[in-house]
Amino acid sequence: MSRGADLSGDGNGTFGIGINNRGVIVGYYVDATPAQIHHGFIWFQGTFTVVDVPLTTFPGVTGTELYDINDHGDVVGAYIANGHHYDFIGQRQGGGNAPDAAN
């Protein structure tokens, strides 16, 4: 998980999909690589946080998408592996305004 990612430059779209009552937005963006990798993100008060399921966690992972966030900071999303979407719930573990990496 990296914080404050710079999305300037070419890309293939950014999609804000879910928002909670605190104004935290989740979604995904498609990068400009030939593989068009999907990267989940959390945006809150001007800070853009990339949330990607680590490629080493599950074989064949090629992307992450976030779909919704509740007021506790828990997210639902999916990682993409071998052409299929696999749902997950990421629960907030620590302090701060954004959830921790999906677990």
Q: Give tens-digit pLDDT for 3-17.
A: 444 444 457 889 999
Residue 20 to residue 18: CA distance in whole angstroms: 7
CB atoms within 10 A of CB 87: 10
Bridge pairing between strands 75-81 and 25-30: unpaired
For CA atoms 51, 102, 43, 29, give the dihedral sign: positive
pLDDT value of position 100? 46
So what's the pLDDT on residue 56? 62
Q: What is the pLDDT of residue 98?
A: 47
10-residue averages of pLDDT along the chain (103 residues): 46 90 95 89 92 77 94 94 90 58 43
Domain locations along the chain = 2-90
Scanning the chain, the segments in alpha helix (DSSP H) are none
- Residue with the two structure tokens 């074989």: 59
| pTM > 0.85: yes or no | no
